[in-house]
């Protein structure tokens, strides 16, 4: 709602000169709705949620055959550019202006933009010019974020001289080739950072040549392929806190030690950096477990992960801690998604990634059963539903605890989830419980699903959720269930919302089942794309995306995915929408 309302100014009063400038309104308005949501709720939780979404949808797009700049330079069908790159990465580009210029500088830029262009149709360059002129800064290099596709990699190395007390931080940026862009020029990149002592205390920072030290987060201006920053008066070898607030849409690489990550996760003043340190611990474990060269994922919880989970739960299981944010803790308990993990490996083995992630969920649920049960009890609201940020945080943490307990097979938790799925007084709790139940073989599973459907038979949007929950089930028979749901009376194969809720959810969100080694998931998607293209080419084109990155998979899956794409391509009378996506995928 906020997004569409904000379009009154960014999209309507000031609009796009041509379709290539689509992100001028969509990226800017996504940034505005994100800022509004951060003000209304937990800013840290909102930012982390934004980044998780970016990594799950836009990073794969940037690495695939349909990669394109935020401001595309060509298209066959413009509907194919209503993408995560235009919207979500476009919002990150706008956020970088905000990071470079600060809140006041960004506001000056926005005021000048509206004053200059009210009632006009303009370009991304006009927006950049307003930001630069209002703050008297050179942003010419920043234009590359609009013209170059791909996700840059930011590599970090550092050293410390105990005699001179100088700490050197070296940043190197690189961006892999993308279709039509084999060589990339360096980006102008804001790197928000700070330094911590080995005990976790924040250090003031002073670069060589500066008169006074800077307190708190500072923003380094990276302009070259390789650039070193020298900090003086550093009393001991510090731990760098990097990319605070996710200050640039990049992949960060550094050889962190387990001890450094533990300090950052426990003490960093920036909540995103704390969360990211914990995610790095989890990613390391999951990728090691998913490596085909290693044994099958084990049931033991490694010490680094156990310490991380213990620290996350501690504020909520001991004496009440009014400072701890339950919503933030719930995000810390959420494991990295399989789509993001797939972006971090050269060859994707979806079954291994899924098995590793599921094994870790089970291990956490079993190892911390007592603490999770206590949280599930403490954070159960007995009064009337409250649509407040605080109440939402309590629900989020309780449902995260319940999900982990159910994953471990805890009988009491499964019984609680069954009751909650039937009788919870709000949709958040009912869907959370239904999601936990739908993965199981509980005898009452079918009855609970039927009861949910009956309760919301007159609410089409809630029924979309009902379809999606089943499409995302971890059960081995999910594709068969999805096929059966295609014939359900409540499903309309010509309704885009229903198609996205069932077919789109399965093919994009259920990676383990969609990528089953027998190729049944690929054949199913090809059948759906061909059928839907006959009456809605735009919708069909959106559905093709999961087949696009076929080169990232093992040879067996590559052949099956390419075969599905080729079968779609050979259909007579294929729409321009689908043709463009399929051709790009096949020639990539």
What residues are labeled active site?
Answer: 4
Q: Which long-range contacts (CB under 8 A, 24 or more apart) does 523-530 make?
A: 523/564, 524/479, 524/482, 524/483, 525/564, 526/564, 526/565, 526/567, 526/568, 528/499, 528/503, 529/568, 529/578, 530/567, 530/568, 530/571
Residue 337: strand, helix, or coil: coil
- The pairing of strands 153-161 and 251-253 is parallel
Structure tokens at 249: 């849409």
What distance in Å separates the CA atoms of residue 105 and residue 111, rounded to the nearest whole number? 10
For every residue of 122-137, DSSP letters joined together read: E-HHHHHHHHHHHHT-
What distance in Å separates the CA atoms of residue 98 and residue 79, rounded to the nearest whole number? 29
What distance in Å separates the CA atoms of residue 55 and residue 77, rounded to the nearest whole number? 25
Element (H, E) at 241: strand 239-242
What distance in Å separates the CA atoms of residue 13 and residue 280, rounded to the nearest whole number? 43
What distance in Å separates the CA atoms of residue 523 and residue 519, rounded to the nearest whole number? 6
Q: Which of 115, 120, 119 is nearest to 133 (CA)?
A: 115
Residues with Cβ within 8 Å of residue 294, at least 6 apart in sequence: 288
E strands along 138-236, which residues? 153-161, 166-174, 189-196, 202-203, 218-222, 226-231
Backbone angles phi, psi at 93, to 5 degrees: -65, -45
**153-161 sheet: strands from edge to edge:** 226-231, 166-174, 153-161, 251-253
Structure tokens at 431: 């869907």
Q: Give rounded-to-5 percent helix, strand, coil for the chain.
A: 60, 10, 30
Residues with Cβ within 8 Å of residue 425, at least 6 apart in sequence: 384, 385
Backbone angles phi, psi at 406, to 5 degrees: -65, -40
């Amino acid at each position: 709602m906020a997004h569409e309302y904000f379009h009154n100014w960014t999209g309507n009063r000031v609009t796009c000169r041509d379709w290539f400038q689509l992100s001028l309104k969509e990226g800017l308005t996504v940034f505005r709705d994100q800022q509004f949501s951060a003000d209304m709720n937990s800013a840290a939780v909102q930012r982390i949620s934004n980044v998780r979404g970016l990594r799950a949808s836009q990073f794969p797009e940037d690495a695939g055959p349909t990669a394109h700049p935020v401001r595309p330079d060509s298209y066959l069908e413009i509907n194919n550019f209503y993408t995560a790159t235009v919207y979500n990465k476009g919002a990150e580009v706008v956020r970088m202006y905000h990071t470079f210029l600060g809140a006041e500088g960004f506001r000056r830029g926005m005021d000048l933009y509206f004053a200059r262009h009210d009632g006009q149709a303009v370009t991304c360059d006009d927006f950049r010019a307003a930001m630069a002129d209002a703050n008297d800064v050179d942003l010419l290099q920043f234009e590359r974020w609009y013209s170059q596709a791909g996700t840059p990699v930011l590599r970090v190395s550092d050293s410390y001289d105990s005699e001179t007390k100088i700490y050197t931080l070296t940043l190197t940026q690189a961006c892999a080739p993308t279709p039509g862009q084999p060589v990339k020029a360096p980006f102008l990149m804001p790197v928000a950072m700070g330094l911590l002592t080995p005990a976790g205390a924040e250090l003031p920072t002073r670069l060589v040549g500066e008169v006074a030290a800077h307190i708190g987060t500072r923003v380094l201006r990276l302009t070259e392929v390789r650039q070193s920053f020298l900090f003086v008066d550093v009393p001991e070898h510090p731990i760098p806190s990097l990319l605070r607030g996710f200050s640039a849409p990049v992949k960060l690489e550094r050889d962190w030690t387990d001890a450094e990550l533990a300090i950052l996760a426990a003490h960093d003043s920036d909540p995103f950096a704390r969360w990211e340190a914990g995610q790095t611990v989890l990613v390391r474990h999951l990728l090691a477990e998913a490596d085909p060269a290693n044994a099958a994922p084990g049931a033991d919880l490694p010490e680094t992960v156990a310490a991380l989970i213990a620290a996350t739960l501690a504020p909520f299981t001991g004496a009440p801690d009014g400072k701890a944010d339950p919503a933030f803790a719930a995000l810390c308990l959420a494991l990295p998604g399989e789509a993001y993990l797939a972006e971090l490996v050269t060859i994707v083995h979806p079954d291994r990634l899924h098995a590793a992630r599921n094994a870790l969920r089970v291990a956490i649920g079993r190892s911390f059963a007592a603490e999770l049960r206590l949280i599930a009890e403490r954070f159960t609201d007995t009064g009337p539903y409250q649509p407040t940020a605080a109440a939402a945080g309590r629900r989020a943490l309780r449902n995260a605890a319940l999900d982990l307990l159910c994953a471990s097979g805890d009988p009491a938790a499964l019984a609680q989830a069954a009751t909650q799925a039937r009788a919870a007084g709000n949709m958040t709790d009912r869907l959370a419980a239904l999601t936990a139940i739908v993965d199981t073989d509980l005898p009452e599973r079918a009855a609970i699903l039927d009861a949910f459907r009956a309760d919301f038979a007159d609410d089409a949007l809630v029924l979309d959720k009902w379809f999606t929950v089943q499409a995302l089930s971890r059960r081995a028979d999910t594709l068969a269930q999805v096929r059966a749901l295609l014939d359900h009376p409540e499903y309309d194969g010509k309704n885009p919302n229903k198609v996205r809720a069932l077919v789109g959810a399965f093919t994009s969100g259920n990676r383990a089942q969609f990528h089953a080694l027998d190729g049944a998931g690929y054949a199913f998607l090809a059948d759906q794309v061909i059928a839907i293209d006959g009456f809605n080419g735009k919708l069909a084109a959106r559905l093709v995306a999961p087949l696009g990155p076929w080169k990232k998979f093992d040879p067996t899956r590559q052949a099956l995915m390419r075969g599905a794409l080729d079968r779609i391509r050979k259909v007579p009378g294929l729409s321009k929408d689908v043709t463009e996506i399929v051709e790009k995928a096949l020639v990539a």
